[in-house]
């Protein structure tokens, strides 16, 4: 599916352009090249596609894959504090390489990787939410990635091999998260490329790990509380990462349902109505292999009108699935440099004929 190569380059070019303009601040040494729209594409082209099949090795694959052009660690979850207040959070860290090798310089400003992070905390009320975005580079030790994970200043997602768990730490203006996340299943679900396209060369590899048990502390507007809950992790690396472009939006959904099942959807869809949605959904029920559901099964509940669609349906009679998915309340987009909507969802309906409900996370871009 070579068109994805082209798509991937465009996607990464966009991301890198944002990152690179940020990185080229006036205080840098003159050795840094001038910003160029061509430059990011050139950087992407120095990387080969990842191998057709990836030999997963854990815990090594929880860490960084510096041989790959791009990578992201993506965590979201729903929490409750001691007082029963609901909280939802997301921390995502993206890494993109400027070159295969580190710059041939002894300067501490030498940069190989650029990073972007996004942090969201939904306090579970109509009072708003907290959103913050950061950019970083692997210069001066400010940001980086290694065998355990990635960090941008004091935002980090790392794997701790001693406990077999993940640790998330992030502080922002009036938010602080300090969470430990323990898997409830021995291994994650591996994911390969853009789902549903049956590409011989997938362009990316990674994994999705739903059902992480969360414990820790959340501080919001000066109030620190112990929390516990449920979260999911997605970690993907390769040369082609899904981002909206042109007439196509990117829609991603993760669901965690109370019967123990989980759903992950990734879809490219026309910004307007019509067209053939690309991608698929994976349904994971306990003690079974993931089942693929065609992308057409997941669609906005209402005609698109230019705004972010926050009501969706997932319907697949063949799999006994009929789920309504909607944001628990109206909420604006977070205002990141890359326009997107990201937030908590709630879901109810049936799976295999049984009534279920649960929480989820929706991320939309390109609208």
Partner 1 sequence: MTRFPNVALLFGLAALGLAACGEAPPPAAAPERFTIAEPGPIPVTEQQPGDPVAGYRTVVNRGYVTCGIPYDAFRSSGLLEAGEPRLSGREGRNAELPYMFNSTVSGEGVELVVSNCLTCHASEFEGELVVGLGNPLLDFTNDPSVNAELLGAFVEDGAPAAAWAKWADRIAAIAPYMVTDTVGVNPAPNLTLALIAHRDPATLAWSAEPRLEPPPREPLPTKVPPWWRMQHKAAMFYNGSGRGDHVRYMMMKSLVCTDDIGEAAEIAEWFRDVRAYIASLEPPAYPFPVDEELAAQGEKVFAGTCAGCHGSYGADRAYPNLLIDLEVVGTDPAYARQAVESERFVRWFNRSFYGQGAEAMPALGYVAPPLDAVWATAPYLHNGSIPSIAALLDSTQRPTYWQMDTEPRQYDPDTLGWRFEALEFGKEAVEDLQRAKRIYDTTRHGYGNQGHQFGDALGEQERSALVEYLKTL
Pick from 6, 60, 187, 355 the residue near partner 1 by CB under 8 A: 6
Query: In whole angstroms, what is the distance from residue 89 CA to residue 225 CA?
Result: 14
Contact flag: residue 97 with partner 1 (CB under 8 A): no
Q: Please provide the DSSP assignment of 112-136 as one string.
A: SEEEEEEEEEE-SSTT--EEEEEEE
From residue 182, give the alpha-carbon distance in Å to each of 63, 79, 185, 210: 16, 14, 9, 10
Contact flag: residue 359 with partner 1 (CB under 8 A): no
Cβ atoms of 272 and 247 closer than 8 Å: yes
Instruction: Give me 227's structure tokens.
Output: 């929390």
Cα distance from N-terminal residue to C-terminal residue, the chain: 25
From residue 84, give the alpha-carbon distance in Å to each of 36, 80, 228: 51, 5, 10
Instruction: Give me 149's structure tokens.
Output: 């994970």
Contact flag: residue 197 with partner 1 (CB under 8 A): yes
Which residues pair with residue 65 across a beta bridge? none
DSSP SS3 for 268: strand
Contact flag: residue 275 with partner 1 (CB under 8 A): yes
CB of 351 to partner 1, least distance (A): 28
Pick from 141, 186, 200, 335 the residue near partner 1 by CB under 8 A: 200
Cβ atoms of 279 and 196 closer than 8 Å: yes
Contact flag: residue 101 with partner 1 (CB under 8 A): no
Interface region with partner 1, contact rule CB under 8 A, candidates 65-73, 88-96, 158-166, 195-203 = 195-203
Contact flag: residue 27 with partner 1 (CB under 8 A): no
Query: In whole angstroms, what is the distance from residue 82 CA to residue 65 CA?
Result: 38
Which lies closer to partner 1 via its Cβ, residue 41 or residue 285? Answer: 41
Q: Which residues contact 129 (CB under 8 A, 6 or more apart)?
A: 120, 121, 122, 123, 331, 334, 343
Contact flag: residue 276 with partner 1 (CB under 8 A): yes
Q: Which residues contact 29 (CB under 8 A, 6 or more apart)?
A: 107, 109
Binding track, positions 126-155, relative to partner 1; x by CB under 8 A: ------------------------------
Which lies closer to partner 1 via its Cβ, residue 48 or residue 355? Answer: 48
Q: Which residues contact 58 (CB under 8 A, 6 or more apart)?
A: 187, 188
Pick from 268, 282, 284, 314 the residue near partner 1 by CB under 8 A: 268
SS (H, E, C) 144-205: EECCCEEEECCEEEEEECCCCEEEEEEEECCEEEEEEEECCCCCCEEEECCCCCCCCCCCEE
Residues numbered 37-76 forming contacts with partner 1, rule: CB under 8 A: 41, 45
Contact flag: residue 351 with partner 1 (CB under 8 A): no
Instruction: Give me 342's structure tokens.
Output: 């990201």
CB of 290 to partner 1, least distance (A): 19
Query: In whole angstroms, what is the distance from residue 50 CA to residue 41 CA?
Result: 17
Instruction: Give me 104's structure tokens.
Output: 């041939």
Contact flag: residue 307 with partner 1 (CB under 8 A): no
Per rule CB under 8 A, count of chain residues that contact partner 1: 25
Binding track, positions 230-259, relative to partner 1; x by CB under 8 A: ---------------xxxx-----------
Interface region with partner 1, contact rule CB under 8 A, candidates 152-160, 211-219, 254-262, 275-283 = 275-283
Pick from 33, 51, 272, 320 the residue near partner 1 by CB under 8 A: 272
Specify the DSSP element, H or E, that contains 104.
none
Which lies closer to partner 1 via its Cβ, residue 271 or residue 331? Answer: 271
Which lies closer to partner 1 via its Cβ, residue 11 or residue 233? Answer: 11
Contact flag: residue 299 with partner 1 (CB under 8 A): no
**Interface residue list for partner 1 (CB under 8 A):** 1-7, 9-10, 41, 45, 197-198, 200, 245-248, 268, 270, 272, 274-276, 278
């Amino acid at each position: 599916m070579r068109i994805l190569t082209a798509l991937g380059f465009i996607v990464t070019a966009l991301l890198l352009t944002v990152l690179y303009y940020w990185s080229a601040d006036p205080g840098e040494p003159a050795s840094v090249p001038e910003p160029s729209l061509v430059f990011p594409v050139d950087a992407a082209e120095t990387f080969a596609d990842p191998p057709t099949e990836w030999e997963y090795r854990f815990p090594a694959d929880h860490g960084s894959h510096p041989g790959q052009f791009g990578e992201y660690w993506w965590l979201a979850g729903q929490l409750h504090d001691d007082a029963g207040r609901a909280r939802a959070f997301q921390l995502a860290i993206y890494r993109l390489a400027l070159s295969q090798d580190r710059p041939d310089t002894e300067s501490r400003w030498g940069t190989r990787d650029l990073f972007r992070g996004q942090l969201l905390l939904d306090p579970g009320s109509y009072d708003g939410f907290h959103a913050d975005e950061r950019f970083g580079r692997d210069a001066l030790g400010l940001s980086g990635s290694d065998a355990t994970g990635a960090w941008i200043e004091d935002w980090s997602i790392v794997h701790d091999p001693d406990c077999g768990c993940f640790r998330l730490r992030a502080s922002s203006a009036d938010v602080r998260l300090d969470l430990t996340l323990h898997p409830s299943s021995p291994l994650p679900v591996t994911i390969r490329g853009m789902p549903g396209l049956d590409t011989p060369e997938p362009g990316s590899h990674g994994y999705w790990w739903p059902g992480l048990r969360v414990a820790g502390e959340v501080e919001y507007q000066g109030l620190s509380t112990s929390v516990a809950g449920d979260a999911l992790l997605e970690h993907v690396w390769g040369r082609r990462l899904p981002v909206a472009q042109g007439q196509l939006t990117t829609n991603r959904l993760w669901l965690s349902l109370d019967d123990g099942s989980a759903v992950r959807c990734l879809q490219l869809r026309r910004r307007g109505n019509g067209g053939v949605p690309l991608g698929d959904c994976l349904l994971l029920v306990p003690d079974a292999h993931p089942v693929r559901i065609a992308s057409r099964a997941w669609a906005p509940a209402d005609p698109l009108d230019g705004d972010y669609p926050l009501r969706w349906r997932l319907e697949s009679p063949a799999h006994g699935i009929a789920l309504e998915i909607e944001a628990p309340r109206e909420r604006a987009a977070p205002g990141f440099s890359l326009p997107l909507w990201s937030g908590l969802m709630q879901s109810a309906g049936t799976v295999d004929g049984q009534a279920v409900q649960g929480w989820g996370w929706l991320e939309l871009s390109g609208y």
